[in-house]
């Protein structure tokens, strides 16, 4: 990197305000959706009306995740963040990139599988009681059940990858005491 390029890189934030807003909005939704998904997938003696409301909230939030993930992906590809600090070893760099791209893939595939599965069931896909998403698959109850099994496993995978991501961020902040987490909090 030339001195001019290096100086320019130091002036711009590691993550833009838009990237940070998209990240934290997605994170908030996902941290709500994961437990809602587990509640929706199980009975646990919850009154039927409450269970249905929680399930509809899960579907509504899922309807937000899909376009939000697409916007995030396009934004990330057109506005790449600054590279990780140079003292991060290659294996950790590979793990960080693999985790990020796995999260993007899961954030796009998971709601799509849920939408197809719900359409094939067939069941309504309400979005916060304002409207319903259209069905995107013909009725096929057996296929729907298979997709819901896949959706459950993808949800577990998403929870694991999110936990890894949070753990890595905390490791950087509390153990390494570097600015990796602060890049997403403040941009610098």
Give, for 46, the enclosing helix (H) or strand (E).
none
The pair of structure tokens assigned to 141 is 């109850």
Q: Identify the CATH assignment for 3-186 out of 1.10.10.10, 3.90.550.10, 1.20.1540.10, 1.20.950.20.
A: 1.20.950.20
Long-range contacts at 144-151 (CB < 8 A, ≥ 24 apart) = 144/117, 144/118, 144/120, 147/113, 147/114, 147/116, 147/117, 147/120, 148/41, 148/117, 150/113, 150/117, 151/110, 151/113, 151/114, 151/117
Domain range summary for the chain, segments of one domain joined by +: 3-186
What tens digit of pLDDT does each residue of 132-160 get? 999 999 999 999 999 999 999 999 999 99
Task: Give the pLDDT of residue 69.
Answer: 97
Task: Give the pLDDT of residue 116.
Answer: 98
* Measured distance CA(112)–CA(121) in Å, rounded: 14
Overall residue count recorded for the chain in this entry: 188
* Measured distance CA(120)–CA(138) in Å, rounded: 5
Residue 6 confidence (pLDDT) above 60: no
Give, for 43, the enclosing helix (H) or strand (E).
none
What tens digit of pLDDT does each residue of 41-68 get? 887 888 989 989 999 999 999 999 999 9
The pair of structure tokens assigned to 12 is 């711009």
What tens digit of pLDDT does each residue of 92-148 get? 999 999 999 999 999 999 999 999 999 999 999 999 999 999 999 999 999 999 999
153 CB-contact burial (10 Å; exposed 0-12 / middle 13-18 / buried 19+): exposed
Global pTM?
Answer: 0.88
Contact 182, 173 (CB under 8 A): yes
Task: Give the pLDDT of residue 85.
Answer: 86
Please give the share of the chain, as a percent, with pLDDT higher than 90.
73
Sign of the CA dihedral running 150, 151, 152, 153:
positive
Contacts of 26 (CB under 8 A, 6+ apart): 65, 68, 69, 72, 107
């Amino acid at each position: 990197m030339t001195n001019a390029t290096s100086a320019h890189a130091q002036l711009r934030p590691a993550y833009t305000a838009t990237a940070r807003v998209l990240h934290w909005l997605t994170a908030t939704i996902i941290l709500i959706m994961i437990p809602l998904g587990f509640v929706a997938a199980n009975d646990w003696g919850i009154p039927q009306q409450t269970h249905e409301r929680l399930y509809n909230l899960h579907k509504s939030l899922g309807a937000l995740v899909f376009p939000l993930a697409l916007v995030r992906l396009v934004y990330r590809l057109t506005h790449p963040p600054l590279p990780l600090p140079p003292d991060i070893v290659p294996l950790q760099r590979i793990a960080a990139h693999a985790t990020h791209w796995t999260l993007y893939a899961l954030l796009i595939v998971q709601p799509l599988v849920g939408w197809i599965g719900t359409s094939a069931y067939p069941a309504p896909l309400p979005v916060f009681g304002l409207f319903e998403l259209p069905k995107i698959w013909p009725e096929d109850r057996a296929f729907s059940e298979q997709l819901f099994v896949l959706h459950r496993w993808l949800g577990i995978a998403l929870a694991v990858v999110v936990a890894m991501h949070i753990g890595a961020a905390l490791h950087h902040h509390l153990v390494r005491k570097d600015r990796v987490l602060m890049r997403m909090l403040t941009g610098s």
